[in-house]
Structure 1
């Protein structure tokens, strides 16, 4: 008959093996998510380029091309900063996840934006709930040092975001 202590050790060993298995599965999923986020970022850049090209295809009377929303026309005519994914800070930290699209949208706008404008730019709804959810995310990015909010409700990219990491740094 096995002792109680041996049974506990066997169960702990089994749990340890399960934890390691789950961790390896999480690591594999994180790699898949990163690859898919990179694809999503490329699609977003392609969409911006097409929007810009369509906006240039004005009709002879100066009206925007048919089917293009006025916001897209205005955005396409603004000077655009180029920020490539992944978005990094000068300290070498890399921004991950859907927040990267927020920073890219702000970089493309070239000016501070309100949460509703950012929702439009990243393609989420502009109803109350998504706008408030975006505002919470933006406030979090301000606390993390990725964005600034110099005027209440106007968000901009923080200094150093998008700058290359220092060569040979301790990041």
Structure 2
């Protein structure tokens, strides 16, 4: 028959091995978390830089001569028309929600975001300017299960963070003044 002390030592050894395994897992997860946070911060900085570039003056405007100014391709006559800021192309499905600005229309958003904003616009014109995520989910014709409601909630939060929608009270959303103003 095994001794009590021997049984306790076996269990202590098993517990210590489990602790070591969990420490290794925790160290690996913390390292991955640090890498993910670094990547996230880099993307945040990149988005901020792009926003600065898009909102600032473009080279070739206000009297600056950009590269190739005055040159022509040979078959077309050179014109002195000022360069226009191109409007963003329509977004692809799964694309990032841009920060709203007057030059943007809903076409800059992915189709599912366009449907949500169209729903808010229709409901606002029908006398219901503020809606919950459950109501938006129902109007969109989605099944009112938690996964669908949470999907709509995350999209609404993203739209509100980027200036396309407002959240006057927690969990209730309305179309922002800018996009509703006619862009």
Larger Rg over CA atoms: 2
Q: Same fold (TM over 0.5)?
A: no
The TM-score with structure 1 as length reference comes to: 0.43
The TM-score with structure 2 as length reference comes to: 0.40
